[in-house]
Structure 1
Amino acid sequence: MLATTLSATSLLLPSPANAKGTQPGVDRVRSDQWHLQYLQIAKAHRLNLGDGVTVAVLDTGVDSHPDLVPNLLQGADAISGGTGNGQHDLIGHGTGMAGLIAARGRGGTRGALGIAPHARILPVIVTPTDGGGESDALADGIEYAISHGANIISISSVGGATQRLIKAVNAALSADVVIVASAGNRPQDAFVGYPASRDGVIAVSGVNKDGSHAAVSVTGPQVDVAAPAVDIYSTSINGTYRVGTGTSDATAIVAGAAALIRSKFPDLPAQEVAHRLTATAIDKGPPGRDDEYGYGVIDLVAALTADVPPLGFESTAATAPASTRAASAEASGDGATARGLATLGVLLAAGGGYLVWRRRRRADDPPPRISR
């Protein structure tokens, strides 16, 4: 069996409730979540909160953190040593990912807040406390998530593509489940790992507080989008909080973004959810898709409000230059997903205006906030 490894490093923080000045301490956790302001979460939450969506977190388990309890479902253990329901986490990684997706905080600006705070979390333990794991356990977790109604599967780990895991990933995609997976971290990972490398899976890289590529993040042609990945604060075990760095955190943030989209557009197929993320992303690096940012950094507000033509929409792509038509034709082959179509025929389908809109947004990137 080929092992899977977690895609983040983290530091456990004491619970603010146990520190001097409880209220200021708890508020500090929220203010330290710089990615929320960077992603304009207040505007996004006026549009949607993630109601009616279930996100399966396949990780080290999810502890019953006060900021998460309202959204935490009974899950499962794909490896031995847990409680049998996925609600057991010895190192805090899975609890952190769940918090980034759906933490509700403790009222007002207290505690940690997730991207989709009304989404439900389905915890499945697939990774032991040493951070390693087996691909078959991940396959078991994917199958459990499918059978228990997950709309989105968040995988903050990378590993090898065994036949059993490939079959499980294929089954999830066929079941119209959105899969979001981390690209991997340097130096332990040299290239985009599985399942992020699979067409149809949203592969996530990371950015710093200023929106530049995070050195920890793996690059590659499979990267679809980028999200904040450095000094990311979230929930942890025993009511505490953690700060993590890595594409694990970026992946959970993108899974939360996918939850907002699925909630606002409940009839949108999984590949259209992915397309909406890539088509509205804020372009970074060289114009168009690149190996560091994919199609760009996710834009929550645009993903929930933009008029995005559907995949396969035909218009000006037919009259585009020969080089563009050739690229579009290649992207529309068997197994093509948002990775292949989002920036070619679909974006050109808006007569060029939509592409201009995306490029103009490069000058409107949210500035970095809350430097530490």
Structure 2
Amino acid sequence: MIAGATLLVVTITGTAAASGNDGLEKIRTDQWHLQYLKVDRAQRISQGEGIVVALPDTGVDVHPDLERNLLVGADIIPGGIGNGRLDRNSHGTGMAGLIAAHGRDAKKGALGIAPKAKVLPLYDTPESGLGNPDDLAKSIEYAITHHARIISISAASTPTIRLRAAVNAALDANIVIVAAAGNAPRETGVSYPASEPGVIAVGGVDRLGNHTALSVSGAELDVVAPAVDIYSTSTGGRYRKSSGTSDATAIVAGAAALIRSKYPNLPAQEVAHRLTATAIDKGPPGRDDEYGYGVIDLVAALTADVPPLGFETPSVTAPPATAAGRGNDDNSTARGLVTLGVLLAAGGGYLAWRRRRRGDDPPPRISR
């Protein structure tokens, strides 16, 4: 364990290795979240072209389903091969695949939410699972200087001075940050940096769209996404199945890439607003601590005529540009960098509409 940091643990709930074309087709079929989120319809509108998603994690293997979209990144800590493209754990490779895997063809292999986005792999967490919050800060700083448009953080961390400064610098640089809310019982509330105002905090739902017990709840939660039995890429050209808010976070990061590609001039806070404003309401009417504003709706987020921030009365924490400070939770439980493999997801608060959509509502519109 690194002094002054806290633990990062990845628990993989299973793997699935494909054998031949039948196995590769089964991987795609087993990615139930693609059908649930109507990814085929969303990808007719946007596939994430032109967007770089920075991924601070355990590194990313060069998987056949992902290789065209994997950039040369960086090793923030010693032990890699110098470019972020080595993963001895599989967590980072799994998250990268959920964001931007292109598969083998239309029906084979793993498919990401944004299959034409690029992933910038940043190795800041070793195989041992011990991570340093300031190494995560260094990853975020690297992402800023290398012009990432989105940062996907499937980890929980201690809010050190340097990490808080890095997160706020990224928000000020118009970068969308998506982070994991946390996995119960290890986490008992929304973790950092998901709890930072301006970060999109992601929780998880099961195959039926219901809150899963492994996902923490809290007032900072913004949206939810599939987080149970999620298939993605793994090391050595294999595949993995895992559950947790890590997976949900990577899925939402892919959704943000679709939006930023479709609306390249949209500020980061408006990207988050699109996700919350078009989310499908679950649980009690209005925002709640288990679902946030609801389950992400990719097609609505890409097509709805969404009023800009400030058009209606804000219902949650203001974005960083208008918030009275970003918050300083001095009572936060001291904990280390934790990537979550029965896994974790993220985010902070944004303005959103007072009333969320129900599942049978049409996409929101505003008269011109």
Instruction: Tell me what 1:13 maps to.
Output: 16
Instruction: Tell me what 1:153 maps to.
Output: 151
User: How much identity, in percent, do the aligned residues show?
Assistant: 61
Deviation readout 1:99-125 (Å, 9 max, x if unpaired): 000000001200000000000000001
Alignment check: 8 A CA contact 1:7 1:185 kept: no
Q: How far apart are the structure 2 equivalents of 1:10 and 1:252?
A: 17
- The 3-state SS of whatever aligns with 1:361 is coil
The residue correspondences of 1:147-296 to structure 2 (distance < 5 A) are 147-296=145-294
User: What is the Cα-based RMSD across aligned positions, in Å?
Assistant: 2.1
Is 1:298 aligned with 2:296? yes
Q: CA 1:338–1:157 in structure 2 vs 1: closer, same or farther (change >3 Å)?
A: closer
Q: Which amino acid aligns with 1:250?
A: A
Identify the range of structure 1 (186-195 vs 38-47) with the bigger mean alpha-carbon deviation.
Answer: 186-195
- TM-score using structure 1 length: 0.87
Q: How far apart are the structure 2 equivalents of 1:131 and 1:203?
A: 22
Alignment check: 8 A CA contact 2:279 2:293 kept: yes
Structure 1 unaligned spans of 5+: 318-324, 345-354, 365-372
- The 3-state SS of whatever aligns with 1:288 is coil
Structure 2 unaligned spans of 5+: 327-346, 363-368
- The 3-state SS of whatever aligns with 1:5 is coil
Alignment check: 8 A CA contact 1:6 1:158 kept: no
Instruction: Tell me what 2:34 maps to.
Output: 36
Larger radius of gyration: 1
Alignment check: 8 A CA contact 2:53 2:120 kept: yes
Which structure's relative contact order is higher, taking Cα pairs within 8 Å and 6+ residues apart?
2
Q: CA 1:229–1:360 in structure 2 vs 1: closer, same or farther (change >3 Å)?
A: closer
Q: Which amino acid aligns with 1:342?
A: A
Q: Which amino acid aligns with 2:352?
A: A
Alignment check: 8 A CA contact 1:6 1:131 kept: yes
Identify the range of structure 1 (57-66 vs 130-139) with the bigger mean alpha-carbon deviation.
Answer: 130-139
Deviation readout 1:206-225 (Å, 9 max, x if unpaired): 00000000111011111000
Identify the range of structure 1 (115-124 vs 126-135) with the bigger mean alpha-carbon deviation.
Answer: 126-135
Instruction: Tell me what 1:339 maps to.
Output: 349
Q: How big is the shift at 1:132?
A: 2.6
The residue correspondences of 1:316-355 to structure 2 (distance < 5 A) are 317=313, 333-335=323-325, 339-344=349-354, 355=355
Q: CA 1:328–1:171 in structure 2 vs 1: closer, same or farther (change >3 Å)?
A: closer
How many corresponding residue pairs?
338
Q: How far apart are the structure 2 equivalents of 1:153 and 1:338?
A: 13
Q: How far apart are the structure 1 equivalents of 2:186 and 2:208?
A: 24
The residue correspondences of 1:103-114 to structure 2 (distance < 5 A) are 103-114=101-112
Alignment check: 8 A CA contact 1:56 1:123 kept: yes
- TM-score using structure 2 length: 0.87
Q: Which amino acid aligns with 1:194?
A: Y
Q: How big is the shift at 1:228?
A: 0.2
Q: Would you tell me which structure has more helix in proportion to its own residues?
A: 1
